[in-house]
Amino acid sequence: MPLQLRRSELKDLSLIVETYFEAFAQDPIHQRFAPRGTKSAYDFWHSSLDAEMRDQTNHFLSVWDDSSTPETFVGFAKWIVPGAHPEPLPPVDAWPSDGDQEFSSMFFGRLNDMHDEAMGERPHWYLELLAVRPQFQGKGAASLMLKYGVEKADEDKVECFLDASPAGQPIYERYGFRVVQTDTFLEGTYIQCAMARDAKR
């Protein structure tokens, strides 16, 4: 399967949003904060990602399978360059109204805290989001997008950081990431990991 990695374009936005919902359809956290098939969740992601893709400190990547005609969109990732900061969290009432707004604010606020506690002000490449369509998972798309960021970090001689569920942890470990902090959610049934990768010496 010939997979092609490219920088995302604004015309990919609808495919990116659709892929997010497909990739996280079975994830209890994402379904609680942005329930698939609801207008408020779609509008939230479409508006947020549209703004983020216009920010040059964010590197959005898309993977395509060009063995079909037309070619098929496979997945996307968002890397944030060293020295930049993620977008500030929205107020509670700006999260998708069809989801649990209080939980959303708490969960993503905690992820921000874990990020700050792990990395402080040290420059690093931050993988904020990675999603691959279910039928393409395990076929190399995530590796292409991970390789992009870790190679950039090695060129810059800085660290990398990401958040991961236990399901995603093994692939990140293959690229040198290690768990530096964990927290549990949903009454202890969901574990979220903060993972870092050392700078190249």
* CA separation, residue 38 to residues 87, 97, 103, 183 (Å): 23, 9, 17, 28
- Model pTM above 0.75: yes
For residue 1, name the pLDDT band (cuts at 50, 70, 90).
low
Could you tell me what percent of the chain has a pLDDT over 70?
100
Question: Are the beta carbons of 75 and 132 closer than 8 angstroms?
Answer: yes
Query: In the chain, where are the structural domains located?
Result: 3-84+91-197
Q: What is the pLDDT of residue 166?
A: 74
DSSP string, 121-151: T--EEEEEEEEE-GGGTTSSHHHHHHHHHHH
Q: In CATH, what number does 3-84+91-197 get?
A: 3.40.630.30
What is the Cα–Cα distance from 111 to 117, expressed in whole angstroms?
Answer: 10
Residues 6+ apart with CB under 8 A from 5: 61, 62, 63, 144, 145, 148
Q: How far apart are CA 44 and CA 34, in angstroms?
A: 8
